[in-house]
Amino acid sequence: MDTGTAYGRTPPTYRKELTEVRAGTPMGELLRRYWHPIGLSSEDLSVPREKTILGETLVAFRDGSGKPGLVYPRCAHRGASLYYGKVEERGIRCCYHGWLYDAQGRCLEQPCEEGGGARRDNVRQPWYPLEERYGLVFAYLGPPQKKPALPRYDCLEELAPGEFVEADDSSIGSGGPRIVDCNWLQHWENVVDPFHVPILHGSFSGAQFVAQMAAMPKVTFEPTPRVAKYGKVESIGWVLPIDDTHFRIYTAGRVSEQGELSKFRSRMAGKAWHELTPEEHQRHPGDYEAQTSQGPITFHSEERLATSDKGIAQLRRFLEQQLKIVAEGGDPACVAFDEKSAYVRLDAGQTLV
């Protein structure tokens, strides 16, 4: 009798606690303890823009004085969306009855009320703190009393003459749409998975980055915050979970030429990702194809982790520990509350922050 056929499989499941990001979920609360990049500083926010971050749809704008704001879309008056609002010198004005809110949600004007609103100070449009650094706008969506200092990174602070920091939002290294339609953890796991490099990037995609990548790596995984010095880190990538089944990537790096960061995109069979036909995508898949084909959220119940997946297993264990720390009221790894301890020294190689 033939066994192991596809018939009668157990319905697959995924690990919600590791993947789901909405407020109130374990991972959603862990991720809300960190700053996340939500856009490039160069983005035009003189009109309100909708942004979904960790499953919350919000409205971003930049007031006339240059201050960026991120607010809950439903106006505190009667719920019209501030997406239809107008950005002014002092904040964002709701289209319905003209209430004006500043970047921290304070209500500055209520034009339909006598004298501009005697009780407007009691109104606060729900808002989130933003800070800008490295050409990126960072948001903190967590509990206010736990707001960490926005980290600085040595590799983006200590610049050689002629170097400057540039930001980029163009997608995964081997190309793809800006918004990637699968769970963010699939991308994190790709980063701690050096064994996919010689197979996917060295063979399937056709030597995608450099020929040396086709060599099977010798890998050790060390659960340490610091690794041996290999060289100065050139760029840092952040994965922003948009919701449970979409993410995007922001990068900031040291460059000496404008546009250098976005030029570092691999080519498959001599073409950029967006130039490939559907047939060529199938013949020359890259990270985008591998990760999204795992499904919107990969089924952990159907995995067979092997010895080459030590990095994945360690990452998941690390995340489980952090979930536990947050659930017990503690502060997760790498959050620092003063500027000095928020200065991060990174070494090249596979360093996870």
Helix (H) or strand (E) holding 70: strand 68-71
Place of tokens 């209520």: 110
Binding residue for ligand FES, selected from 16, 42, 78, 256, defined by CB under 6 A:
78
What does 75 bind: Fe ion, ligand FES, none (CB cut-off 5 to 8 Å by kind)? Answer: ligand FES
- Of the candidates 202, 226, 179, the residue with the CA atom closest to the CA atom of residue 346: 226
Identify the burial level of 60 via C-beta atoms within 10 angstroms of its C-beta, where 0-12 means exposed, 13-18 middle and 19 or more buried.
buried
What does 287 bind: Fe ion, ligand FES, none (CB cut-off 5 to 8 Å by kind)? Answer: Fe ion
Smallest distance, Å, CB 79 to ligand FES? Answer: 6
Cβ proximity to ligand FES, 31 vs 82, nearer residue: 82
Using the contact rule CB under 6 A, the part of the chain among 63-71, 90-98, 159-167, 294-302 near ligand FES is 90-98
CA gap 211, 194 in Å, rounded: 15
Binding residue for ligand FES, selected from 15, 49, 67, 77, defined by CB under 6 A:
77
Cβ proximity to Fe ion, 63 vs 287, nearer residue: 287
CA gap 243, 31 in Å, rounded: 12
CA gap 158, 163 in Å, rounded: 9
Helix (H) or strand (E) holding 280: helix 278-283
What does 78 bind: ligand FES, Fe ion, none (CB cut-off 5 to 8 Å by kind)? Answer: ligand FES
Cβ proximity to ligand FES, 94 vs 200, nearer residue: 94
CA gap 332, 30 in Å, rounded: 7
Question: CB of 69 within 8 A of CB of 88?
Answer: no
Question: What's the gap between Cα 290 and its chain centre?
Answer: 19
Interface pattern 271-310 for Fe ion (x via CB under 5 A) = ----------------x-----------------------
Question: Which residues contact residue 308 at a Cβ distance below 8 angstroms, ignoring those fewer than 6 apart?
Answer: 193, 195, 219
Cβ proximity to Fe ion, 58 vs 180, nearer residue: 180
Interface pattern 96-115 for ligand FES (x via CB under 6 A) = xxxx----------------
Interface pattern 47-76 for ligand FES (x via CB under 6 A) = ----------------------------x-
94 makes contact with ligand FES (CB under 6 A) = yes
CA gap 224, 314 in Å, rounded: 11
Can you read off the two tokens belonging to residue 162? 């002629």
Question: CB of 251 within 8 A of CB of 261?
Answer: yes
What does 97 bind: ligand FES, Fe ion, none (CB cut-off 5 to 8 Å by kind)? Answer: ligand FES
- Of the candidates 325, 246, 178, 289, the residue with the CA atom closest to the CA atom of residue 19: 246
How many residues form the binding site for ligand FES (CB under 6 A)? 10
What does 96 bind: Fe ion, ligand FES, none (CB cut-off 5 to 8 Å by kind)? Answer: ligand FES
Residues in the site for Fe ion, rule: CB under 5 A? 287
Residues in the site for ligand FES, rule: CB under 6 A? 75, 77-80, 94, 96-99
